[in-house]
Amino acid sequence: MTSLFLFGATEGGLFDFDATLPLMAVQVVLLTFILNALFFKPVGRVVEEREGYITTSRAEAKQKLAEVQRLESELKDQLKAARQAAQKVITDAEQDSEKLYKEALALATAEANASRESARREIDSQRDSALTQLKEEAEQLGNLIVDRLLAAK
């Protein structure tokens, strides 16, 4: 039953080469083409599509993240500028009102001084004119007295 034909067997044996060899080669070549069409190409397409999808998604996400960070810093800058502007407006307004107050105060003081000065000047001039008049009248009176006295003599 068991036969261990090795080399040199006329019928059968381990090294029995025949048409099995070329037919098996043809079969494997055919299998290569079939597997290429049914397996390697479609699976390769799917895997590479997915790899491409992942790459583009990652790139997109990175781009979006950068955009978000840019916008965020821009907004921060804007917020800072707005704060500064508001602060400036407040300071300006304070300064303005201070200035206005001071101006108004100065104006009022000046006016008051001026009116006081003019009043004093008027008083002085009136007093002077009154004194002059009095002097003149006194002189006339004196003259009159002198004239009368001289005439009576």
The residue ranges that bind other proteins (CB under 8 A) are: 1-6, 9, 12-25, 27-29, 31-36, 38-40, 42-44, 46-47, 49-50, 53
Residue whose C-alpha is closest to residue 28's, from 36, 44, 45: 36
**Residue 44 or 142 with smaller CB distance to other proteins:** 44
CA angle (137, 139, 142) in 5-degree steps: 110
How many residues are given for the chain?
Answer: 153
CA 148 – CA 137 distance, rounded (Å): 16
**Residue 37 or 123 with smaller CB distance to other proteins:** 37
* Amino acid in position 55: T
Q: Which phi and psi angles does 59 have, rounded to 5°?
A: -60, -45
Q: How far is the CB of 23 from other proteins (least distance, A)?
A: 6
CA 149 – CA 153 distance, rounded (Å): 7
**Residue 53 or 101 with smaller CB distance to other proteins:** 53
Q: How far is the CB of 56 from other proteins (least distance, A)?
A: 13
Q: How far is the CB of 65 from other proteins (least distance, A)?
A: 23
**Residue 12 or 150 with smaller CB distance to other proteins:** 12
Q: How far is the CB of 58 from other proteins (least distance, A)?
A: 15
Residue where the block lists tokens 């008051």: 112
**Residue 26 or 112 with smaller CB distance to other proteins:** 26
What region does 2 belong to: left with phi over 0, alpha with psi -120 to 50, or beta?
Answer: beta
